[in-house]
A and B are shown apart, each in its own frame.
Chain A
Protein backbone atom coordinates (compact mmCIF):
# COMPACT_ATOMS: atom_id res chain seq x y z
CA UNK A 1 0.00 0.00 0.00
CA UNK A 2 1.50 3.30 -0.99
CA UNK A 3 0.75 6.04 1.50
CA UNK A 4 0.57 9.69 0.59
CA UNK A 5 3.88 11.03 -0.66
CA UNK A 6 5.96 12.50 2.14
CA UNK A 7 6.04 16.26 1.88
CA UNK A 8 9.62 17.18 2.69
CA UNK A 9 9.03 20.83 1.86
CA UNK A 10 6.66 20.92 4.76
CA UNK A 11 8.69 18.75 7.15
CA UNK A 12 11.94 20.62 6.59
CA UNK A 13 11.42 24.32 7.02
CA UNK A 14 13.92 27.08 7.11
CA UNK A 15 13.77 27.50 10.86
CA UNK A 16 12.46 24.17 12.15
CA UNK A 17 12.23 20.49 11.22
CA UNK A 18 9.57 17.96 12.06
CA UNK A 19 10.14 15.08 14.51
CA UNK A 20 8.87 12.58 11.95
CA UNK A 21 12.18 12.94 10.09
CA UNK A 22 13.82 11.08 12.98
CA UNK A 23 11.24 8.40 13.75
CA UNK A 24 9.34 7.42 10.59
CA UNK A 25 10.74 4.19 9.06
CA UNK A 26 9.25 5.19 5.69
CA UNK A 27 11.50 8.24 5.69
CA UNK A 28 14.51 6.07 6.50
CA UNK A 29 13.67 3.89 3.48
CA UNK A 30 13.55 6.94 1.23
CA UNK A 31 16.85 8.24 2.63
CA UNK A 32 18.54 4.94 1.82
CA UNK A 33 17.48 5.48 -1.79
CA UNK A 34 17.59 9.23 -2.33
CA UNK A 35 20.67 9.93 -0.25
CA UNK A 36 22.68 6.75 0.22
CA UNK A 37 22.06 5.43 -3.30
CA UNK A 38 22.19 8.73 -5.17
CA UNK A 39 24.92 10.72 -3.50
CA UNK A 40 28.61 10.47 -2.68
CA UNK A 41 28.99 8.39 0.48
CA UNK A 42 32.25 8.07 2.42
CA UNK A 43 33.59 4.50 2.39
CA UNK A 44 37.20 4.68 3.53
CA UNK A 45 40.71 5.99 3.07
CA UNK A 46 43.25 4.77 0.53
CA UNK A 47 45.74 3.97 3.30
CA UNK A 48 43.37 1.41 4.82
CA UNK A 49 43.92 -0.74 1.75
CA UNK A 50 47.47 0.27 0.95
CA UNK A 51 48.75 -3.15 -0.14
CA UNK A 52 47.67 -5.19 -3.18
CA UNK A 53 44.77 -7.45 -2.21
CA UNK A 54 43.87 -5.53 0.96
CA UNK A 55 40.18 -4.96 1.49
CA UNK A 56 37.73 -3.56 4.03
CA UNK A 57 33.99 -4.17 4.14
CA UNK A 58 31.80 -1.09 4.29
CA UNK A 59 28.27 0.00 3.42
CA UNK A 60 26.45 2.40 1.15
CA UNK A 61 23.45 2.90 3.37
CA UNK A 62 22.40 -0.67 4.05
CA UNK A 63 24.12 -2.14 1.01
CA UNK A 64 27.28 -4.15 1.76
CA UNK A 65 30.34 -3.24 -0.31
CA UNK A 66 34.01 -4.17 -0.36
CA UNK A 67 36.72 -1.57 -0.84
CA UNK A 68 39.66 -3.46 -2.31
CA UNK A 69 43.00 -2.79 -3.98
CA UNK A 70 43.72 -5.20 -6.82
CA UNK A 71 47.05 -6.76 -7.75
CA UNK A 72 47.85 -3.80 -10.02
CA UNK A 73 47.16 -1.43 -7.09
CA UNK A 74 43.91 -0.21 -8.61
CA UNK A 75 41.09 0.54 -6.16
CA UNK A 76 37.60 -0.89 -6.56
CA UNK A 77 34.35 -0.72 -4.68
CA UNK A 78 32.48 -3.98 -5.21
CA UNK A 79 29.09 -5.13 -4.05
CA UNK A 80 29.56 -7.86 -1.46
CA UNK A 81 27.11 -10.12 -3.25
CA UNK A 82 27.82 -13.26 -5.25
CA UNK A 83 26.33 -12.96 -8.72
CA UNK A 84 25.12 -16.56 -8.67
CA UNK A 85 22.35 -16.62 -6.11
CA UNK A 86 23.29 -13.80 -3.76
CA UNK A 87 25.70 -14.60 -0.99
CA UNK A 88 28.23 -12.45 0.82
CA UNK A 89 31.55 -13.39 -0.72
CA UNK A 90 33.51 -11.73 2.05
CA UNK A 91 32.85 -12.68 5.67
CA UNK A 92 35.45 -10.69 7.58
CA UNK A 93 35.64 -6.92 7.85
CA UNK A 94 39.21 -6.61 6.69
CA UNK A 95 41.95 -8.74 5.25
CA UNK A 96 43.90 -9.56 2.13
CA UNK A 97 42.27 -11.12 -0.92
CA UNK A 98 45.23 -11.02 -3.29
CA UNK A 99 44.27 -14.60 -4.18
CA UNK A 100 40.73 -13.47 -4.99
CA UNK A 101 37.34 -14.01 -3.35
CA UNK A 102 35.55 -17.35 -3.30
CA UNK A 103 31.87 -17.80 -2.56
CA UNK A 104 31.40 -20.58 -0.02
CA UNK A 105 28.02 -21.66 -1.34
CA UNK A 106 28.82 -23.13 -4.79
CA UNK A 107 32.39 -21.99 -5.17
CA UNK A 108 32.30 -19.17 -7.71
CA UNK A 109 35.59 -17.29 -7.61
CA UNK A 110 36.30 -13.63 -8.29
CA UNK A 111 39.52 -11.71 -8.79
CA UNK A 112 40.31 -8.83 -6.38
CA UNK A 113 39.02 -6.48 -9.08
CA UNK A 114 35.73 -8.36 -9.22
CA UNK A 115 35.89 -10.42 -12.45
CA UNK A 116 34.30 -13.83 -12.28
CA UNK A 117 37.31 -16.10 -12.70
CA UNK A 118 35.85 -19.54 -12.24
CA UNK A 119 32.84 -21.64 -11.38
CA UNK A 120 32.53 -25.37 -10.73
CA UNK A 121 30.88 -27.39 -13.54
CA UNK A 122 30.58 -24.43 -15.85
CA UNK A 123 29.18 -26.85 -18.47
CA UNK A 124 25.84 -26.33 -16.71
CA UNK A 125 25.54 -22.95 -18.42
CA UNK A 126 24.82 -22.38 -22.07
CA UNK A 127 27.02 -19.75 -23.70
CA UNK A 128 23.90 -18.37 -25.42
CA UNK A 129 22.51 -17.03 -22.17
CA UNK A 130 25.51 -16.92 -19.87
CA UNK A 131 28.82 -15.16 -20.39
CA UNK A 132 31.33 -15.11 -17.54
CA UNK A 133 32.25 -11.51 -18.38
CA UNK A 134 28.72 -10.43 -17.48
CA UNK A 135 28.81 -11.91 -14.01
CA UNK A 136 31.64 -10.11 -12.27
CA UNK A 137 30.88 -8.49 -8.93
CA UNK A 138 28.90 -5.28 -9.39
CA UNK A 139 31.22 -2.26 -9.34
CA UNK A 140 30.35 1.05 -7.75
CA UNK A 141 31.75 4.36 -8.96
CA UNK A 142 34.37 5.81 -6.63
CA UNK A 143 36.23 9.08 -6.54
CA UNK A 144 38.68 10.32 -3.96
CA UNK A 145 40.03 13.55 -2.58
CA UNK A 146 43.37 13.57 -0.71
CA UNK A 147 42.99 9.83 -0.21
CA UNK A 148 39.43 9.95 1.18
CA UNK A 149 37.29 7.66 -0.96
CA UNK A 150 33.60 8.13 -1.61
CA UNK A 151 31.30 5.79 -3.54
CA UNK A 152 28.20 6.69 -5.51
CA UNK A 153 25.70 4.16 -6.85
CA UNK A 154 24.18 6.70 -9.23
CA UNK A 155 26.54 9.62 -9.75
CA UNK A 156 24.47 10.95 -12.65
CA UNK A 157 27.09 13.48 -13.67
CA UNK A 158 27.72 14.86 -10.16
CA UNK A 159 31.42 14.80 -9.30
CA UNK A 160 32.82 14.23 -5.82
CA UNK A 161 34.77 17.48 -5.94
CA UNK A 162 31.59 19.41 -6.67
CA UNK A 163 29.97 17.79 -3.64
CA UNK A 164 32.96 18.46 -1.38
CA UNK A 165 33.06 22.03 -2.67
CA UNK A 166 34.06 24.53 0.01
CA UNK A 167 35.10 21.72 2.39
CA UNK A 168 38.08 20.91 0.19
CA UNK A 169 40.49 23.39 1.83
CA UNK A 170 39.73 21.67 5.14
CA UNK A 171 40.87 18.34 3.74
CA UNK A 172 43.99 20.18 2.62
CA UNK A 173 44.37 21.59 6.13
CA UNK A 174 44.41 17.96 7.33
CA UNK A 175 47.00 16.62 4.93
CA UNK A 176 49.19 19.69 5.39
CA UNK A 177 49.71 18.61 8.99
CA UNK A 178 51.68 15.64 7.66
CA UNK A 179 55.30 16.17 6.62
CA UNK A 180 54.61 13.86 3.65
CA UNK A 181 51.38 15.69 2.77
CA UNK A 182 49.48 12.46 3.33
CA UNK A 183 47.59 10.93 6.23
CA UNK A 184 47.27 7.28 7.21
CA UNK A 185 44.25 5.59 8.73
CA UNK A 186 45.99 2.38 9.74
CA UNK A 187 45.91 2.61 13.51
CA UNK A 188 42.71 0.61 13.93
CA UNK A 189 39.25 1.94 14.60
CA UNK A 190 36.79 2.28 17.44
CA UNK A 191 33.17 1.30 16.90
CA UNK A 192 30.28 2.83 18.78
CA UNK A 193 26.54 2.29 18.46
CA UNK A 194 23.48 4.11 19.67
CA UNK A 195 19.72 3.75 19.61
CA UNK A 196 18.75 6.89 17.75
CA UNK A 197 18.64 8.36 14.27
CA UNK A 198 21.79 8.82 12.16
CA UNK A 199 21.09 12.51 11.55
CA UNK A 200 21.47 13.26 15.27
CA UNK A 201 25.20 12.77 15.02
CA UNK A 202 25.50 14.73 11.77
CA UNK A 203 23.74 17.65 13.46
CA UNK A 204 25.60 17.32 16.74
CA UNK A 205 29.03 17.30 15.18
CA UNK A 206 28.27 20.76 13.77
CA UNK A 207 26.69 22.03 16.97
CA UNK A 208 28.99 24.35 18.92
CA UNK A 209 26.26 25.43 21.34
CA UNK A 210 26.50 22.24 23.42
CA UNK A 211 30.20 21.65 24.20
CA UNK A 212 30.63 24.03 27.15
CA UNK A 213 27.57 22.44 28.75
CA UNK A 214 27.54 18.78 27.81
CA UNK A 215 31.32 18.35 27.71
CA UNK A 216 32.24 20.60 30.63
CA UNK A 217 33.78 17.73 32.60
CA UNK A 218 36.10 16.71 29.79
CA UNK A 219 37.00 20.30 28.98
CA UNK A 220 37.92 21.12 32.53
CA UNK A 221 40.33 18.22 32.51
CA UNK A 222 41.87 19.56 29.31
CA UNK A 223 42.29 23.14 30.42
CA UNK A 224 41.76 23.48 34.13
CA UNK A 225 38.69 25.06 35.67
CA UNK A 226 39.88 28.61 35.20
CA UNK A 227 39.68 28.62 31.40
CA UNK A 228 37.08 31.05 30.18
CA UNK A 229 34.92 29.09 27.76
CA UNK A 230 32.95 32.15 26.77
CA UNK A 231 36.08 33.46 25.08
CA UNK A 232 35.67 30.63 22.57
CA UNK A 233 31.99 29.71 22.48
CA UNK A 234 30.20 32.74 23.84
CA UNK A 235 28.89 35.97 22.28
CA UNK A 236 32.37 37.51 22.55
CA UNK A 237 34.01 34.24 21.53
CA UNK A 238 36.13 33.61 18.46
CA UNK A 239 34.72 30.25 17.30
CA UNK A 240 32.28 30.26 14.40
CA UNK A 241 29.89 27.85 12.72
CA UNK A 242 30.20 27.77 8.97
CA UNK A 243 27.70 26.38 6.49
CA UNK A 244 29.90 25.30 3.57
CA UNK A 245 27.04 24.39 1.24
CA UNK A 246 25.94 20.93 0.00
CA UNK A 247 25.12 19.93 3.59
CA UNK A 248 28.77 20.30 4.60
CA UNK A 249 29.74 22.39 7.58
CA UNK A 250 32.50 23.42 9.91
CA UNK A 251 33.02 24.60 13.43
CA UNK A 252 35.81 27.03 12.83
CA UNK A 253 38.27 27.12 15.74
CA UNK A 254 41.12 28.46 13.66
CA UNK A 255 41.20 31.85 15.40
CA UNK A 256 41.31 30.20 18.84
CA UNK A 257 43.84 27.61 17.72
CA UNK A 258 46.17 30.28 16.42
CA UNK A 259 45.89 32.05 19.73
CA UNK A 260 46.44 29.22 22.16
CA UNK A 261 46.79 25.94 20.38
CA UNK A 262 43.59 24.00 20.63
CA UNK A 263 42.57 23.59 24.25
CA UNK A 264 42.56 19.82 24.06
CA UNK A 265 44.67 18.87 21.13
CA UNK A 266 47.62 21.25 21.21
CA UNK A 267 50.65 19.10 20.71
CA UNK A 268 52.58 21.24 23.14
CA UNK A 269 53.59 19.80 26.45
CA UNK A 270 52.88 16.12 26.00
CA UNK A 271 55.52 15.41 23.39
CA UNK A 272 59.21 15.79 23.93
CA UNK A 273 61.00 18.74 22.42
CA UNK A 274 63.22 16.86 20.00
CA UNK A 275 60.25 15.07 18.42
CA UNK A 276 58.45 18.38 18.02
CA UNK A 277 61.51 19.95 16.43
CA UNK A 278 61.84 17.03 14.02
CA UNK A 279 58.16 17.35 13.18
CA UNK A 280 58.43 21.08 12.49
CA UNK A 281 61.50 20.52 10.35
CA UNK A 282 59.61 17.88 8.38
CA UNK A 283 56.75 20.29 7.75
CA UNK A 284 59.10 23.08 6.76
CA UNK A 285 60.73 20.87 4.15
CA UNK A 286 57.46 20.42 2.32
CA UNK A 287 55.69 23.72 2.97
CA UNK A 288 58.50 26.21 3.56
CA UNK A 289 59.33 27.68 6.95
CA UNK A 290 56.85 30.58 6.63
CA UNK A 291 53.82 28.29 6.45
CA UNK A 292 54.70 26.02 9.35
CA UNK A 293 53.41 28.35 12.05
CA UNK A 294 50.15 28.83 10.17
CA UNK A 295 49.61 25.11 9.57
CA UNK A 296 50.36 24.28 13.20
CA UNK A 297 48.23 27.18 14.33
CA UNK A 298 45.23 26.05 12.31
CA UNK A 299 45.86 22.50 13.46
CA UNK A 300 43.19 19.79 12.99
CA UNK A 301 39.94 21.21 11.61
CA UNK A 302 36.45 20.27 12.75
CA UNK A 303 34.06 19.68 9.86
CA UNK A 304 31.72 17.30 8.15
CA UNK A 305 30.88 16.22 4.63
CA UNK A 306 27.32 15.16 4.02
CA UNK A 307 25.98 12.53 4.59
CA UNK A 308 28.40 10.43 6.66
CA UNK A 309 31.92 11.88 7.03
CA UNK A 310 33.18 13.86 10.02
CA UNK A 311 36.64 15.10 10.85
CA UNK A 312 37.39 16.16 14.42
CA UNK A 313 40.28 17.21 16.57
CA UNK A 314 42.46 15.54 17.82
CA UNK A 315 42.83 14.04 14.35
CA UNK A 316 40.00 11.64 13.89
CA UNK A 317 37.79 10.61 10.98
CA UNK A 318 34.29 9.38 11.72
CA UNK A 319 32.23 7.29 9.39
CA UNK A 320 28.52 7.30 10.21
CA UNK A 321 26.59 4.16 9.36
CA UNK A 322 22.80 4.30 9.50
CA UNK A 323 21.42 0.90 10.49
CA UNK A 324 17.72 1.66 10.93
CA UNK A 325 15.54 4.65 11.69
CA UNK A 326 16.63 4.45 15.33
CA UNK A 327 19.98 2.68 15.27
CA UNK A 328 23.31 4.07 14.13
CA UNK A 329 26.93 2.95 14.22
CA UNK A 330 29.91 5.29 14.30
CA UNK A 331 33.39 4.20 13.28
CA UNK A 332 36.23 6.37 14.59
CA UNK A 333 39.64 6.26 12.88
CA UNK A 334 42.70 7.98 14.37
CA UNK A 335 44.45 9.96 11.65
CA UNK A 336 48.22 9.50 11.60
CA UNK A 337 50.48 11.99 9.87
CA UNK A 338 52.76 10.34 7.34
CA UNK A 339 56.46 10.88 8.05
CA UNK A 340 55.78 12.60 11.37
CA UNK A 341 57.88 11.35 14.31
CA UNK A 342 56.31 8.33 15.96
CA UNK A 343 55.83 10.29 19.21
CA UNK A 344 53.39 12.63 17.45
CA UNK A 345 51.34 9.83 15.96
CA UNK A 346 51.32 7.83 19.19
CA UNK A 347 49.87 10.82 20.98
CA UNK A 348 47.22 11.33 18.29
CA UNK A 349 46.21 7.68 18.54
CA UNK A 350 46.02 7.81 22.32
CA UNK A 351 43.94 10.98 22.39
CA UNK A 352 41.55 9.59 19.80
CA UNK A 353 40.52 6.78 22.13
CA UNK A 354 40.72 8.90 25.26
CA UNK A 355 38.28 11.52 23.96
CA UNK A 356 36.03 9.59 21.63
CA UNK A 357 34.86 6.03 21.19
CA UNK A 358 32.69 4.04 23.57
CA UNK A 359 34.86 4.67 26.65
CA UNK A 360 36.08 8.15 25.75
CA UNK A 361 35.67 11.21 27.93
CA UNK A 362 33.62 13.09 25.33
CA UNK A 363 31.70 10.96 22.80
CA UNK A 364 29.65 8.87 25.29
CA UNK A 365 27.92 12.00 26.55
CA UNK A 366 26.88 12.90 22.99
CA UNK A 367 25.65 9.36 22.44
CA UNK A 368 23.56 9.47 25.57
CA UNK A 369 22.05 12.73 24.40
CA UNK A 370 21.00 11.26 21.03
CA UNK A 371 19.15 8.49 22.84
CA UNK A 372 17.46 11.08 25.05
CA UNK A 373 16.52 13.02 21.89
CA UNK A 374 15.00 9.94 20.30
CA UNK A 375 12.99 9.14 23.42
CA UNK A 376 11.69 12.70 23.73
CA UNK A 377 10.55 12.70 20.09
CA UNK A 378 7.79 10.38 21.21
CA UNK A 379 6.19 13.38 22.90
CA UNK A 380 3.88 14.48 20.13
CA UNK A 381 2.21 17.66 21.36
CA UNK A 382 4.69 19.94 19.66
CA UNK A 383 6.59 18.02 17.02
CA UNK A 384 8.84 20.80 15.79
CA UNK A 385 12.55 20.87 16.49
CA UNK A 386 13.63 24.47 16.21
CA UNK A 387 16.66 25.73 14.29
CA UNK A 388 16.24 29.43 14.76
CA UNK A 389 19.39 30.52 16.55
CA UNK A 390 21.16 33.20 14.57
CA UNK A 391 18.73 33.06 11.67
CA UNK A 392 18.74 36.82 11.29
CA UNK A 393 22.35 37.54 12.16
CA UNK A 394 24.34 35.02 10.14
CA UNK A 395 26.47 36.45 7.35
CA UNK A 396 27.22 35.28 3.84
CA UNK A 397 30.94 35.45 3.04
CA UNK A 398 32.62 36.01 -0.31
CA UNK A 399 33.21 32.30 -0.94
CA UNK A 400 29.46 31.69 -0.52
CA UNK A 401 29.71 30.10 2.90
CA UNK A 402 27.37 31.30 5.63
CA UNK A 403 28.90 32.13 8.98
CA UNK A 404 27.29 32.28 12.39
CA UNK A 405 28.48 32.52 15.95
CA UNK A 406 29.56 29.25 17.56
CA UNK A 407 26.25 28.93 19.40
CA UNK A 408 24.11 29.53 16.31
CA UNK A 409 22.40 26.87 14.22
CA UNK A 410 23.80 28.00 10.89
CA UNK A 411 25.42 24.66 10.06
CA UNK A 412 22.36 22.58 10.95
CA UNK A 413 20.21 24.79 8.74
CA UNK A 414 22.67 24.20 5.91
CA UNK A 415 22.55 20.47 6.44
CA UNK A 416 18.76 20.39 6.32
CA UNK A 417 18.60 22.63 3.26
CA UNK A 418 20.71 20.12 1.34
CA UNK A 419 18.70 17.24 2.77
CA UNK A 420 15.46 18.77 1.55
CA UNK A 421 16.89 19.24 -1.93
CA UNK A 422 17.93 15.59 -2.10
CA UNK A 423 14.65 14.26 -0.73
CA UNK A 424 12.53 16.30 -3.12
CA UNK A 425 14.46 15.78 -6.33
CA UNK A 426 12.74 14.00 -9.18
CA UNK A 427 13.25 10.44 -10.41
CA UNK A 428 16.21 11.29 -12.71
CA UNK A 429 18.03 12.65 -9.71
CA UNK A 430 17.89 16.26 -10.88
CA UNK A 431 17.69 18.68 -8.00
Chain B
Protein backbone atom coordinates (compact mmCIF):
# COMPACT_ATOMS: atom_id res chain seq x y z
CA UNK B 1 0.00 0.00 0.00
CA UNK B 2 1.36 3.44 -0.93
CA UNK B 3 1.94 5.88 1.90
CA UNK B 4 -1.13 8.11 2.14
CA UNK B 5 0.75 10.94 3.80
CA UNK B 6 3.34 10.98 1.03
CA UNK B 7 0.68 11.02 -1.69
CA UNK B 8 -1.23 13.79 0.02
CA UNK B 9 1.89 15.92 0.42
CA UNK B 10 2.76 15.30 -3.23
CA UNK B 11 -0.65 16.54 -4.38
CA UNK B 12 -0.43 19.64 -2.18
CA UNK B 13 3.01 20.42 -3.50
CA UNK B 14 1.84 20.01 -7.09
CA UNK B 15 -1.01 22.45 -6.34
CA UNK B 16 1.42 25.01 -4.96
CA UNK B 17 3.73 24.75 -7.98
CA UNK B 18 0.74 25.36 -10.26
CA UNK B 19 -0.47 28.30 -8.16
CA UNK B 20 3.01 29.84 -8.30
CA UNK B 21 3.52 29.24 -12.05
CA UNK B 22 6.66 27.23 -11.37
CA UNK B 23 6.63 25.60 -14.79
CA UNK B 24 9.95 23.74 -14.68
CA UNK B 25 9.43 22.40 -11.18
CA UNK B 26 5.96 21.26 -12.14
CA UNK B 27 7.16 19.56 -15.31
CA UNK B 28 9.74 17.68 -13.23
CA UNK B 29 6.85 15.96 -11.43
CA UNK B 30 5.80 14.09 -14.58
CA UNK B 31 7.06 10.85 -16.09
CA UNK B 32 8.22 11.21 -19.68
CA UNK B 33 5.46 8.89 -20.93
CA UNK B 34 2.73 10.85 -19.16
CA UNK B 35 -0.77 11.76 -20.36
CA UNK B 36 -2.63 14.84 -19.20
CA UNK B 37 -6.33 15.00 -19.96
CA UNK B 38 -9.04 17.59 -19.32
CA UNK B 39 -12.17 16.25 -21.02
CA UNK B 40 -14.65 18.52 -22.75
CA UNK B 41 -18.43 18.28 -22.78
CA UNK B 42 -18.41 15.08 -20.76
CA UNK B 43 -16.47 13.48 -17.93
CA UNK B 44 -15.34 10.43 -19.89
CA UNK B 45 -15.30 9.18 -23.46
CA UNK B 46 -12.44 8.59 -25.83
CA UNK B 47 -10.02 11.53 -26.09
CA UNK B 48 -8.73 10.14 -29.37
CA UNK B 49 -12.15 10.54 -30.98
CA UNK B 50 -13.63 13.49 -29.11
CA UNK B 51 -12.02 16.89 -28.74
CA UNK B 52 -10.67 17.74 -25.27
CA UNK B 53 -9.94 20.96 -23.44
CA UNK B 54 -6.45 19.52 -22.88
CA UNK B 55 -5.15 16.20 -24.13
CA UNK B 56 -1.38 16.29 -23.96
CA UNK B 57 1.21 13.60 -24.13
CA UNK B 58 4.51 14.54 -22.59
CA UNK B 59 5.92 16.31 -25.72
CA UNK B 60 2.83 18.53 -26.02
CA UNK B 61 3.01 19.27 -22.33
CA UNK B 62 6.63 20.36 -22.74
CA UNK B 63 5.60 22.69 -25.59
CA UNK B 64 2.73 24.11 -23.59
CA UNK B 65 5.11 25.04 -20.76
CA UNK B 66 7.78 26.29 -23.10
CA UNK B 67 5.26 28.75 -24.51
CA UNK B 68 4.19 29.93 -21.06
CA UNK B 69 7.81 30.41 -20.04
CA UNK B 70 8.50 32.90 -22.84
CA UNK B 71 6.39 35.52 -21.06
CA UNK B 72 4.79 36.19 -24.44
CA UNK B 73 1.80 33.96 -23.96
CA UNK B 74 -0.36 37.05 -23.81
CA UNK B 75 -3.36 35.34 -22.23
CA UNK B 76 -1.12 34.96 -19.16
CA UNK B 77 0.44 38.42 -19.34
CA UNK B 78 0.02 39.50 -16.62
CA UNK B 79 -0.23 36.04 -15.03
CA UNK B 80 -3.38 34.97 -13.18
CA UNK B 81 -3.17 35.02 -9.41
CA UNK B 82 -4.18 31.54 -8.32
CA UNK B 83 -5.17 29.92 -5.08
CA UNK B 84 -6.49 26.39 -4.94
CA UNK B 85 -7.74 24.28 -2.09
CA UNK B 86 -7.44 20.51 -2.50
CA UNK B 87 -9.57 18.13 -0.49
CA UNK B 88 -11.40 14.78 -0.47
CA UNK B 89 -8.23 12.83 -1.21
CA UNK B 90 -8.70 9.10 -1.61
CA UNK B 91 -6.00 6.66 -2.52
CA UNK B 92 -5.90 3.13 -3.87
CA UNK B 93 -3.23 0.84 -5.21
CA UNK B 94 -3.31 0.20 -8.93
CA UNK B 95 -1.60 -2.23 -11.28
CA UNK B 96 2.17 -2.27 -11.80
CA UNK B 97 2.90 -0.68 -8.43
CA UNK B 98 1.14 2.56 -9.37
CA UNK B 99 -1.12 4.51 -7.05
CA UNK B 100 -4.43 6.11 -7.99
CA UNK B 101 -5.33 9.24 -6.04
CA UNK B 102 -8.65 11.05 -6.35
CA UNK B 103 -9.15 14.56 -5.08
CA UNK B 104 -11.36 17.64 -5.47
CA UNK B 105 -10.34 21.24 -5.84
CA UNK B 106 -11.68 24.75 -5.61
CA UNK B 107 -9.59 27.28 -7.48
CA UNK B 108 -9.74 31.05 -7.32
CA UNK B 109 -8.35 32.74 -10.44
CA UNK B 110 -7.88 36.49 -10.31
CA UNK B 111 -6.67 38.43 -13.28
CA UNK B 112 -7.20 42.04 -14.30
CA UNK B 113 -9.81 42.60 -11.55
CA UNK B 114 -11.88 39.58 -12.62
CA UNK B 115 -12.25 36.72 -10.19
CA UNK B 116 -13.24 33.35 -11.62
CA UNK B 117 -14.01 30.31 -9.51
CA UNK B 118 -13.22 26.86 -10.83
CA UNK B 119 -14.30 23.54 -9.36
CA UNK B 120 -13.21 20.09 -10.34
CA UNK B 121 -12.14 16.59 -9.50
CA UNK B 122 -8.71 15.23 -10.29
CA UNK B 123 -7.50 11.72 -10.79
CA UNK B 124 -3.75 11.16 -10.52
CA UNK B 125 -2.00 7.95 -11.38
CA UNK B 126 1.33 8.12 -9.60
CA UNK B 127 4.42 6.01 -10.10
CA UNK B 128 7.54 5.70 -7.97
CA UNK B 129 10.59 6.53 -10.08
CA UNK B 130 14.00 6.57 -8.40
CA UNK B 131 12.27 6.66 -5.05
CA UNK B 132 10.15 9.72 -5.94
CA UNK B 133 6.47 9.92 -6.84
CA UNK B 134 5.83 10.99 -10.40
CA UNK B 135 2.63 11.72 -12.34
CA UNK B 136 2.10 9.13 -15.06
CA UNK B 137 -1.47 10.20 -15.77
CA UNK B 138 -3.63 13.09 -14.68
CA UNK B 139 -7.26 13.69 -15.53
CA UNK B 140 -9.11 16.82 -14.48
CA UNK B 141 -12.89 16.80 -14.60
CA UNK B 142 -14.07 20.39 -14.56
CA UNK B 143 -17.52 21.02 -13.15
CA UNK B 144 -18.24 23.33 -16.11
CA UNK B 145 -16.59 21.30 -18.86
CA UNK B 146 -19.69 21.61 -21.07
CA UNK B 147 -20.03 25.38 -20.61
CA UNK B 148 -18.36 28.22 -22.48
CA UNK B 149 -15.16 28.77 -20.51
CA UNK B 150 -13.05 31.85 -20.10
CA UNK B 151 -9.36 31.50 -20.90
CA UNK B 152 -7.72 28.60 -19.15
CA UNK B 153 -4.12 29.39 -19.96
CA UNK B 154 -2.66 28.63 -16.52
CA UNK B 155 -2.02 25.19 -15.04
CA UNK B 156 -4.98 23.23 -13.82
Contacts and interface: CB of A to CB of B under 8 A. Distances in A.
Contact of A364 (B50, B52, B66, B151): B151
Contact of B67 (A221, A334, A353, A357): A221
A246 B145 CA distance: 36
A349 B50 contact: yes
Contacts, number: 98
A334 B53 CA distance: 12
A221 B67 CA distance: 8
A358 B60 contact: no
Contact of A365 (B38, B74, B148): B74
B151 A367 contact: yes
Interface string B65-90: 01100101111000000000000000
Chief secondary structure at chain B's binding surface: loop
B91 interface: no
A189 B39 CA distance: 11
Interface string B46-64: 0011111111100010011
Contact of B53 (A194, A214, A330, A358): A358
B27 to A, nearest CB: 15
Contact of A191 (B50, B112, B148): B148
Nearest to A368: B75
Contacts of A93: 146
A217 B67 contact: yes
Interface residues of B, number: 35
A195 B149 CA distance: 11
A346 B46 CA distance: 11
Given A187-B51, A359-B38, A354 B149 contact: no
A344 interface: no
B40 A365 contact: no
B150 A358 contact: yes
A345 B49 CA distance: 8
Nearest to B38: A359
A371 B38 CA distance: 25
Interface in A361-405: 361, 364-365, 367-369, 371
Interface in A56-100: 93
B143 interface: no
A190 B152 CA distance: 12
A269 interface: no
Interface string B136-149: 00000000001111
Nearest to B74: A365
B49 A191 contact: no
Contacts of A218: 67
Contact of A352 (B51, B151, B152): B51
A354 B51 CA distance: 9
Contacts of B52: 353
Interface string B9-38: 000000000000000000000000000001
Given A190-B51, A364-B75, A365-B75, A354 B60 contact: yes
A275 to B, nearest CB: 14
B58 to A, nearest CB: 14
A294 interface: no
Interface in A317-375: 329-332, 334, 345-346, 349-350, 352-354, 357-359, 361, 364-365, 367-369, 371
A359 B70 contact: no
Given A193-B148, A345-B49, 13 more contacts: A189-B51, A190-B51, A192-B151, A193-B150, A194-B151, A221-B67, A329-B148, A346-B49, A350-B48, A352-B51, A357-B40, A361-B64, A367-B150
